[in-house]
Amino acid sequence: MDQRLKMLALALVVSVGLYACGGGSSGSSSGTTPVATNPTSLPTTVPTAVPTPTPAPSGGAYAQGTVTGFGSVIVDGVTLDDSSASFKVEQDPSVSSTGTSNDIKLGMKVESDQGSDDKIKTLTALPEVYGKITELVVGTGFKLAGQTVRVSTDAAAPTVFEGASVLADLLVGDIVEVHGSRDATGVIVATRIERKDPASTVMVRVVGVVSALDNTAKTLVVSGLTVNFSGAKLRPDGVVLENGQLVAAWSDQAISAASVMTAKALKVKKPQAGDGLKMQIGGLIAGLDAKALSFKLGEVVVDASKAKFESGVVVDLANGKAVRVGGVWQTDKLVAAGVKFVKDSADAKVSLSGVVTDYISLASFKVRGALVDGSAATFDGGAASNLANGVQVKIEGSVSNGKVQAKTVKIDTPVATTPPPNASAPTNASQTASAGVRTITGEVKDYDSKTGKFTLSGVKLNLQINDKTEYGTIGSDVVTSKSDFINGAKVLVRGEMQADVLVVKEVRFPPKVEPPVKLGGVISSVTASQFKLNGVTILWSATTPVDGGKTADVVNGVNVNVTVLKNGDKLQAQQIEIKGRVATTLEVKGAVSDFVLLSNFKVAGQKVDASKAEIKEGKSGSLANGRVVNVKGVLTNGVLMASQVSFAD
């Protein structure tokens, strides 16, 4: 039977169990609970209680949950293909926002709209609350915009931090963006807390349930916050407000001294779904009707009367319990085929697949924007010495102290052959990876000068140089000679698989003086002499050059690019560039893929046209698949029209 027909016969059920994914590959279940959208994750048996609905004629699917990894994007453990997605971050819910793949981060609450081919059409980040911290709740969380936020100590769903390492780093007055779900008492249990630039445009956003609606005074209460909506745009158009609805309220004005939010936009969060739509939803149970086996996850009503349960039983259902549900939309509700209880550290497993960026040490580097500590990891396919910017890895771990603590790190060395010369270009990052473009570092071994064949220490891979191989110096365009390529030489190589050999196009030797390292992210713990970035302490002073601002702008919550010089075990900032203060400019950082021309390639899945860009720290001719770059520009019709491209490897 055809796989898609099987999928329909099995009630379109797939697993929600967390999966340690590979780059862009389809996920599989860590358990037996069938949930939602990935057709390659279908269970091998059909639960007897699963209904068999008729799918919508147009196909498609919808998912809402927490980002637990990348390679494409992983939502509540299920891999979703984002190779052709457009990206948004919902702030003002009345207008369409734009973004890049880098705007989707670990721990964010997101929703995806998928086509009949199961590829994401639109992926939107959905902050639960945004604003200034007004009170710290010692040891547990804080308050803002009338809401109480709790940092999760649950090993099954820990809080990811950015711009702070732990709760104690946050201060009253800090602007934060919080993602998460509400528990039985209405407290937001955070899956992600990101400290924002204190110079950010004033904005308040709250998502919650309407109560005390007064259509005469044009006021209502959202989870304890009084909202005046007399001047607000209501969405969807023509909506009628009612108590009990879930809404997103937004304002560009600070909350008044009387604790009233003057809303500029108010959106009723109601599923726009047709019967038969496949759905995958994660969150905390609310409004449980134990007799009918019905409850809510956010705005979605779930009918669990015919569901199969995993990691628990029916009587474990309770308000505030974390679950992942998969099934099909029927008559204004999600008819659940499977309900999985999120209970232990296995459910908090994070999977990352991509290239290494921002590499400082084994304890501090990034993959798809997520900060990783690999100091306690077990390595497969290579060793710690093989890590460097641009190296493709697959990581499994869990979140602790605001970063991913890697349990395993796999150096991803390809086995596929290069497509024939006349083959069409790859269409997504995973296809590029399978075509064999790789960056690897290590010490030359077993070099045969006649054949050009060699190996690298720690990597089980055959490599070969030839007459077309180029030689240079890491971190610069200084050309070196093939004569430096000898056994024992430490090198960084870039190449492409041909049969079972990585044919090396570029060899880069370490410079005599260690080059500066380029890092990016949100800074914290700022003093006059140091700050923290990506989990490491960086020294700076009033004489450190600051691009895009001045010394006084280097404060907690600012998003920066920093050029860092290593001096023994100390890191000294050579230059600080303040990012993100020009609202019209977007940035994306990652590996180049699908390179056709300077006007047609991708970075971290984002389409880029760099035909009119300024090229920094390199030459336009050096752009190629596998190179790590930082791109700035303006998003036009889904393409990032680059004004600047900087090499970051």
What is the token pair recorded at 268? 């009723």
Q: Per-residue DSSP letters for 349-367?
A: -EEEEEEEEEEEETTEEEE
Q: Tokens 């967390």 map to which residue? A: 18
- Following DSSP, what letter does each residue of 96-165 receive, concatenated? ---B-GGG--TT-EEEEEE-TTSBEEEEEE--SEEEEEEEEETTTEEEETTEEEEE---TTSPPEEES-S
Confidence class for position 582, pLDDT limits 50, 70, 90: low
- pLDDT higher than threshold 50 for residue 572: yes
Quick one: fold of 349-411? OB fold (Dihydrolipoamide Acetyltransferase, E2P) (2.40.50)
- More confident call, 18 vs 279: 279
Burial of 457 (0-12, 13-18, 19+ CB in 10 A): middle
DSSP letter at 81 equals: B
Residue, of 429 and 222, whose pLDDT is higher: 222
Of the CA atoms within 13 Å of residue 247, those in its CB half-sphere come to: 31
Q: 3-state DSSP: the chain helix, strand, coil percent, rounded to 5? A: 5, 45, 45
State the pLDDT at residue 514: 81
Question: For residue 27, what pLDDT is reported?
Answer: 34
3.40.50.1980, 2.40.50.320, 2.60.120.10, 2.60.40.420: CATH of 517-578:
2.40.50.320
581 vs 151 pLDDT, higher one: 151
261 or 45, higher pLDDT: 261
Least confident among 178-187, 389-398, 431-440, 571-580 = 431-440
Q: Is there a contact between 5 and 337 (Cβ–Cβ < 8 Å)?
A: no
Q: Residue 41 pLDDT more than 70?
A: no
- pLDDT, one tens digit per residue, over 52-91 is 333 444 568 999 999 999 988 999 989 999 888 889 999 9
Give the per-residue pLDDT at 32.
Answer: 36
Asked if residue 340 lies in contact with residue 499, where contact means CB atoms within 8 angstroms, the answer is no
Kindly list the domain boundaries of the chain, sorted by start residue: 129-195, 204-268, 285-344, 349-411, 429-509, 517-578, 586-647
pLDDT tier for residue 436 given thresholds of 50, 70 and 90: low
Task: Identify each DSSP E strand in 376-512 by its residue range.
Answer: 378-380, 392-400, 403-411, 438-445, 453-456, 459-464, 470-473, 490-498, 501-509
Contacts of 617 (CB under 8 A, 6+ apart): 646, 647, 648
pLDDT at res. 59: 65
- pLDDT of res. 583: 66
Q: Name, in order, each residue with C-beta under 8 angstroms of 251's C-beta and a sequence gap of 6 or more.
A: 203, 204, 205, 261, 262, 263, 264, 265
Q: What is the mean pLDDT of residues 503-510?
A: 92
CA 573 to mean position of chain CA atoms: 27
pLDDT, one tens digit per residue, over 260-313 is 999 999 999 988 788 899 999 999 999 999 999 999 998 899 999 999 999 999
Q: Which of 243, 291, 249 is nearest to 267 (CA)?
A: 249
CA atoms within 13 A on the CB side of 200: 22
Answer yes or no: is pLDDT of 473 > 70.
Answer: yes
Give the model confidence (pLDDT) of 203-247 as tens digits. Answer: 999 999 999 999 999 999 998 899 999 999 999 999 999 999 999
Instruction: Return the percentage of the chain with pLDDT > 90, whole number.
Output: 62
pLDDT class for 29, splitting at 50, 70, 90? very low
Is the pLDDT confidence value at 16 over 50?
no
For domain 129-195, give the CATH number: 2.40.50
Q: What is the mean pLDDT of residues 38-56?
A: 33
398: pLDDT strictly greater than 50: yes
| The pLDDT of residue 595 is above 80 | yes
Give the three-class secondary structure for 7: helix
Enumerate residues 6+ apart whose C-beta is below 8 A from 529. 539, 540, 541
Top mean pLDDT of 245-249, 424-428, 587-591 is at: 245-249
Q: What is the CATH number of domain 204-268?
A: 2.40.50
Segment of 117-126, 416-425, 509-518 carrying the highest mean pLDDT: 117-126
- For 476-500, what is the mean pLDDT? 88
Say what the pLDDT of residue 499 is. 83
Class of domain 429-509: mainly beta
Q: What would the pLDDT profile of 142-165 be if each residue is shown by its tens digit?
A: 999 999 999 998 888 889 999 998
> In the structure, what pLDDT confidence band is assigned to residue 442 with cuts at 50, 70 and 90?
very high
What is the per-residue pLDDT for 636? 87
Q: How confident is the model at residue 585 (pLDDT cuts 50, 70, 90)?
A: confident
- Taking only the tens place, the pLDDT of each residue in 357-387 is 999 999 999 999 899 999 999 999 899 999 9
- pTM for this structure? 0.83
Q: Is domain 586-647 given the CATH code 1.25.50.10 in the classification?
A: no
Question: What's the pLDDT score for residue 274?
Answer: 85
- pLDDT at position 201 over 50: yes
Of 169-178, 240-249, 357-366, 475-484, the one with minimum mean pLDDT is: 475-484
Is 70 exceeded by the pLDDT of residue 591?
A: yes
- Which helix (H) or strand (E) segment holds residue 429: the answer is helix 429-435
As a whole number of Å, the CA-based R_g of the chain is 25
Give yes or no for a contact between 120 and 82, defined as CB atoms under 8 angstroms apart.
yes
Q: Do domains 429-509 and 586-647 have the same CATH topology?
A: yes
Q: Is the pLDDT of residue 38 over 80?
A: no
Residue type, 153: T
Candidates 17, 36, 19; CA nearest to 27 is 19
| Residues 524/164, Cβ–Cβ less than 8 Å | yes
Looking at residue 129, its pLDDT comes to: 97
pLDDT, position 120: 93
Nearest to 523 by CA among 104, 141, 169, 191: 169
pLDDT for the residue 43: 32
List the one residue out of 371, 369, 379 whose CA is nearest residue 413.
379
Neighbour tally for 330: CB within 10 Å = 17
